[in-house]
Amino acid sequence: MKPTIRRLFVLQIAMVLFCGSISLPAADWPMFGHDPRRSGWASEEKALTKSTVPDLELKWKTKLKNEPRFLTALTAPVVASGVDTPQGRMTLVYVAGSSNNLYALDASTGAVVWNREFDTLVLPGSGKHQFTVYCPLGINATPVIDRDSGTIYAIAMDGRFFGLDLATGKDKFLPIPFVAPFSKSWSLNLVDGIVYTSMTQGCGNAPSGFYSIDVRDPHRPLIRMLVLSNTDLAGIWGRGGAVAGMNHRIYGLTADGPLEPSAGEYGSTAIAASLPDLAPIDYFAPNNARLITKADLDLASGSPVWFKFGQFELLAGGGKEGVVYLLDANNLGGKDHHQSLFTTPRLGNDEHIWNGRGIWGAPAEWQDESGETWLYVPIWGPLSRSAPIFPKTNGPNPHGSMVAFKVVPDSATKQPALEPAWVSGDFNLPDPPIVANGVVFALSTGENALQFSDRNQHTNPGVLYALDAKTGVVLWNSGTQINSWVHFSGLAMSDGQVYSVDHDSWVYCFGLKKK
C-alpha cells in the first residue's frame, strides 16, 4: 500500500472510530407542538413505530411539589437531549407548574435534577376574572427551549421573563418585566432568537394580542406587542398560543369580540402578523363571525397548524363551532377576508353550544412515507349528524374523538381540500395529538368540561392512546396507569419515550420495554 493511500486509510479508520465514540443526541421536543408551526409531528423520531408501540410500558412517574389552582396544574412537557449537567450528560424533561415553579427531570429515571420556585414581587389586582377558573394566578404558558444558547425561557406569574440554564436552572440574565402581572399567556414560541406568546381573557388587565421579547442582548431587551381588541375579549387562548409559519408570519385564532379591523378589533378571526415586528397584515373572518361571537362559539378554543402542501402554504384550524377552515397562509380569506380554500361540514356540536363541544386543543399534521399529507383534529362531544362520511370508523364515540383527513387537490379547483379518512373510538375528552412514524398519540383527559359545575367532580383518570395514523385502529393504551385527569395540557416525545402530566402534578414517561 502506498504511503499516501495508507495515510488516507488510517485517517478514515480514525474518523469512523471517533464518530462511533460520540453519543449523538436524540431529537428534542423544545416547545408545545414540537416546532414553531405547531405541527405536533416528531419527524426525527426513530424508535416509536407501528411495530414497536405495542411494547410501550410505564417507565416512571414522578409526583412534583406543585399545588393545582382551579383547573391548572402542570404545563405540557418539553425535552432537551444531551444536556451536560453537573451530574453528567442526560436528557431532561421540563414542566412548569401552577405554583409558580419550573422543574427539570432526568428522562431516564424521573428524578428531579433541579427546580426553581419563582418569587413574586407584586400582588394580584382585582380584574374581572382574577381568582377564578379563567385567571388562576399561576404559570400558564408552556416554556420554550433555546438550544443555541442553552436556555429555557418561562414567564413567571408576576409577568417577569426568565432565561434559565438548561443544565442547572440558574439565571442566565436578570429577570425582565415582560407581560402584566398575573396575566394569562399561552405556550411560548421561539423564532430566530425571539420569544412570542399570546394573551387573553383580560387577566391582570392585560390587553389581548401577540407579545414578543428579544433578549439576544439581555442588556437591551426589546418588547413588542400587537393588541387585537380594545376590550378584554378577542384573545388568542388556543393551546398553541402564537403559531409561526415558515413564511415570516405569526398566526392565531381569536376569541369572541367585535370585528372592526379598521378600529383594531379582530374578534372571531384568523389573524396574521409580520415577523418580527408584529404588524397586522392579514385576517380571515368566517361569514358568520358575528353569529359565532354572539353564541360564544369562538375560534380560539383551538389553535391552528401551519404546513405546506405542494406549492401551497396552509393554515388549518377551527373552534367550538366544530368546523375546520383550510386557509391560504399567504392570503387569509382572499380579497374580502371571508373566503377559505376549503371548509369542512360541521364535525361536531350539533347542539350549537359553547360548553364542551366542537374543536378544542390543536390539530396535528403529518406527511407519510409516500408524501401524502394528513391532518388530525380533536373533537369534543359526539360527531355531528352533518359530518362527512369517514371510510373507516372505530366504534362509538359519545364523548369525543380524533378525526383524520387527507389533504388532497380538489378535482375541480385544484386547490387543497380535506378528504375524510377515519374517525377514532371514544375519547373522553381528546387532547391535542402528536405524530411519529405512522402512529398518532393522544390523551383521553378524563376531565369534566361542564362549566358552572364543580369540575373537580365527575372526572376520570386519563388514558394515553397510540393509534394507527392511517386507520385510527388502537395499537396500544396506557390502561389504568395514569392517576388523574388533566386540563389544557399536551404531550411530548423524544427518543422512544412519550411524556404526559395530570392534574395531581404527576409527570409520566412511557417507553419501550427492554428486550
**SS3 for 99?**
coil
**SS3 for 275?**
coil
Distance CA 64, CA 157 (A): 18
Of 127-136, 448-457, 475-484, least confident by mean pLDDT is: 127-136
Distance CA 113, CA 88 (A): 11
Contact, 461 vs 444, CB < 8 A? Answer: no
- Listed by start position, the domains of the chain span 25-360+486-512
pTM: 0.93
pLDDT tens for 490-512 read 999 999 999 999 999 999 999 99
The letter for the amino acid at 202 is G
CA-to-CA separations, 167 to 80, 170, 175, 202, 223, in angstroms, rounded? 10, 8, 18, 35, 27
CATH of segment(s) 25-360+486-512:
2.140.10.10
Averaged pLDDT, 308-320: 97
Name the average pLDDT for the chain: 92
Helix ranges (H only) for 333-396 are none
Q: What is the pLDDT of residue 440?
A: 98
- Distance in Å from the first CA to the final CA of the chain: 44
Distance CA 275, CA 38 (A): 16
Q: How many CA atoms lie within 13 A of 479 on its CB side?
A: 7
pLDDT tens for 339-388 read 999 999 999 999 999 888 999 999 999 999 999 999 999 999 999 999 99
> Does residue 421 carry a pLDDT above 80?
yes
Q: What is the pLDDT of residue 17?
A: 34
Residue 409: burial class (beta carbons within 10 Å; 0-12, 13-18, 19+): middle
pLDDT tens for 96-107 read 999 999 999 999
Distance CA 267, CA 234 (A): 5
pLDDT tens for 66-104 read 999 889 999 999 999 999 999 999 999 999 999 999 999
Contact, 343 vs 317, CB < 8 A? Answer: no
Q: What is the pLDDT of residue 1?
A: 43
Give DSSP secondary structure letters for 321-340: T---EEEETTSTTTTTT---
Contact, 225 vs 235, CB < 8 A? Answer: no
Distance CA 276, CA 364 (A): 25
Averaged pLDDT, 238-255: 97
Q: What is the pLDDT of residue 26?
A: 57
